[in-house]
Chains A and B, each alone.
Chain A
Amino acid sequence: MIEEVARAVLCLALGEVVARTTAIRIPGAVIGLVLLYANLQWIGRVPDALGSLADGILKNLGLLFVPAGVGIIGYLHLVQSDLVPIAAALLGGTVVTIGVVALVADRLTRSPQAMEAQNAPT
């Protein structure tokens, strides 16, 4: 198990090094994600301990956002003054995005060629 913790933390640390020493503004953790994905491609499978580690942490992912979210307490004035634009962006933006993705993807994949792909086992 500890080897797999080391693997994940090492990917994270390398990601941070890349993010901080280059002009790339991608968050270090995302670079770490790509590094771990590349590493898994290289070894060709997910080690069992890594699988359980990932499942355990990702199942309780919601807990990890709580401290960050509590920070909203310091920005209530901003939320209050921008309440209408925020509501429009969150409600309208999300519903429109779902509709546009569904509609365009559906129309564009309904060409004869795509119908074949659609019937393929998913």
Chain B
Amino acid sequence: MHLHELSALSGLLNQPSIAIGITILAYVAALRLQRRFPTNPALNPTLVAILMIVGLLALTGTPYEDYVPSAGFIHFLLGPAVVLLAVPLYRQTALIRASGGVIALALAIGVPVGVATAVGAACLLGAHPETLLSLAPKSVTTGIALGLSQSIGGIPALTAVFVIMTGITGAVFGPAVVRCLGVRDPRILGLSVGISAHGIGTARAFQIGEVPGAFASLGMSLNGVITAVVLPLCMGAFA
């Protein structure tokens, strides 16, 4: 390594150990910030960590292309993490059997409405095609949404941020919307928030109770799998 490379952090972020270390540090700092202000949903740790790294890259003049391959190992772990979603899903098999009807109903409504409202609204307001494709998987849990965005021709980086913003929106407004509509069934509260706002909505549902939390978690996982199967087929039909 040359001396001039050491003078700027820019060169250092090429090193996987440094890029990975800084990413984990940023996430830990963001987690602490969230624990300090647990009621502020905008302090989503992933979002805060992304902003911290973006700021760092901008400050040091490091191109994104230098950081990404170095932090590649963290990104790689997303694949096994998505596969491992099978474990909580399997643990809930009894719940799926007991309440299959309402779960299937909520998914049959939520999956198409979630995609159609996002893509429809943005399309009417004149968004670019790549924005529309990146918005389509916005209600799907991030790990699946990224792969889905890539396979339908969207921009995974945009999708990542859209998915997080969707989750925050659902967590903030979801329970109030459901209450205002006079819906009292805790299963439906969980399903609607989990299907529309994935993991972040699910975390909110668990704060309300075990039943909404468990149903939100189910809604999230099943929405992910169903959208991953159906969305590419639909896009194929239109292409």
**Which A positions have Cβ atoms within 8 angstroms of B?**
5, 8-9, 11-12, 15, 24-30, 32-37, 40-41, 46, 50-51, 53-55, 57-58, 60-75, 78-79, 81-82, 84-86, 88-106, 108-109, 114, 117-118, 120-122
Report whether B181 and A73 are in contact in the complex, using a CB–CB cutoff of 8 Å. Answer: no
4 closest Cβ pairs, A-B complex? A71-B157, A27-B147, A25-B232, A85-B127
CA distance A47 to B162 in the complex (A): 35
Most buried by B among A46, A64, A103: A64
Contact of A102 among B72, B83, B181 (CB under 8 A): B181
**28 pairs of residues in contact across A and B, judged by CB atoms under 8 Å:** A12-B80, A24-B232, A30-B148, A33-B86, A34-B225, A36-B87, A60-B27, A66-B23, A68-B78, A68-B160, A69-B47, A69-B161, A70-B71, A73-B54, A82-B131, A85-B123, A88-B121, A89-B118, A90-B166, A91-B169, A97-B196, A98-B178, A102-B178, A103-B181, A105-B102, A105-B106, A105-B192, A117-B102
Give the distance to chain B from A49, nearest Cβ to Cβ, in Å. Answer: 11
Is B68 an interface residue when CB atoms closer than 8 A count as contact?
A: yes
CA distance A15 to B165 in the complex (A): 29
A-B contacts counted at CB < 8 A amount to 336
CA distance A9 to B125 in the complex (A): 42
For B82, list chain A residues within 8 Å (CB). Answer: 12, 27, 29-30, 32-33
CA distance A94 to B80 in the complex (A): 28
Report whether A101 and B181 are in contact in the complex, using a CB–CB cutoff of 8 Å. Answer: no
Most buried by A among B50, B68, B123: B50
Chain B contact residues, majority secondary structure: helix
Is B228 an interface residue when CB atoms closer than 8 A count as contact?
A: yes
Give the distance to chain A from B90, nearest Cβ to Cβ, in Å. Answer: 4
Report whether A93 and B138 are in contact in the complex, using a CB–CB cutoff of 8 Å. Answer: yes
CA distance A11 to B68 in the complex (A): 25
CA distance A46 to B92 in the complex (A): 11
Most buried by B among A11, A54, A67, A90: A67
Report whether B114 and A97 are in contact in the complex, using a CB–CB cutoff of 8 Å. Answer: yes
Report whether A102 and B87 are in contact in the complex, using a CB–CB cutoff of 8 Å. Answer: no
Q: Which residue of A lies closest to B128 (CB)?
A: A82
With A64-B77, A88-B122 given, is the CB distance from A26 to B229 under 8 Å? yes
For A109, list chain B residues within 8 Å (CB). Answer: 101-102, 105, 185, 188
For A68, list chain B residues within 8 Å (CB). Answer: 75, 78, 142, 146, 156-157, 160
For B186, list chain A residues within 8 Å (CB). Answer: 122
Report whether B165 and A90 are in contact in the complex, using a CB–CB cutoff of 8 Å. Answer: yes
Task: Name the interface residues of B66-120: CB closer than 8 Å to any CB of A.
Answer: 67-68, 71-72, 74-75, 77-91, 93, 95, 98-99, 101-102, 105-106, 109-110, 113-114, 117-120
